[in-house]
Each structure stands twice: as C-alpha cells, then as structure tokens.
Amino acid sequence: MLTLIDFGCGQHPRWQLTLTGSTAALVGSLITNLPLKGAYPTYICEHGHTHCLLLHPHEDDMTTGPPARGLAEGRVPPIRPE
C-alpha cells in the first residue's frame, strides 16, 4: 500500500491518495523518478507552480517485481480496483 500526498499550490488544494498492489508499485516507481526539491519529488502544474509530493509506503502490501505486464511492448494495461 502506498499513500501519496500532494501538498498543492496557490491554485490547487492539498490532496491525498492511497493505492494498493501493482498500482502502488507502478506509481511509486514513477514518482521516485521525478526531480527533487529538498527531499520531495516535484512536478510543475498547468499554472507553472511547483507541487511537492510525499510518498508513505506501507510495506505490508507492496508488491515486488514488474508492476504490470505489457509495458515493455508499449501497451498500458487497464487499472483494475484492488
């Protein structure tokens, strides 16, 4: 399980999302590849503001190995609720 917190900006409120299974593993891998501002992964929103993200993994439910089949072939598999 992975809890993702976006601290927001002047145009966007703070929000939190909890993911499980292979979705958590995939999103966690993608976010850890974002540029850092201090200790936080960041991205720029459509208003040009920097958003800092906080990842809080819960080791009890994280999957290991490839997060989803078909990515190597350029296909994006559908996300099914866990």
In the block, which residue shows the tokens 């490839």? 66
In the predicted model, what is the mean pLDDT of residues 3-32?
95
Contacts of 29 (CB under 8 A, 6+ apart): 67
Provide the whole-model pTM: 0.67
Most confident of 57-61, 65-69, 75-79: 57-61
pLDDT band at 60 (very low <50, low <70, confident <90, very high): low
Identify the pLDDT of residue 58.
81
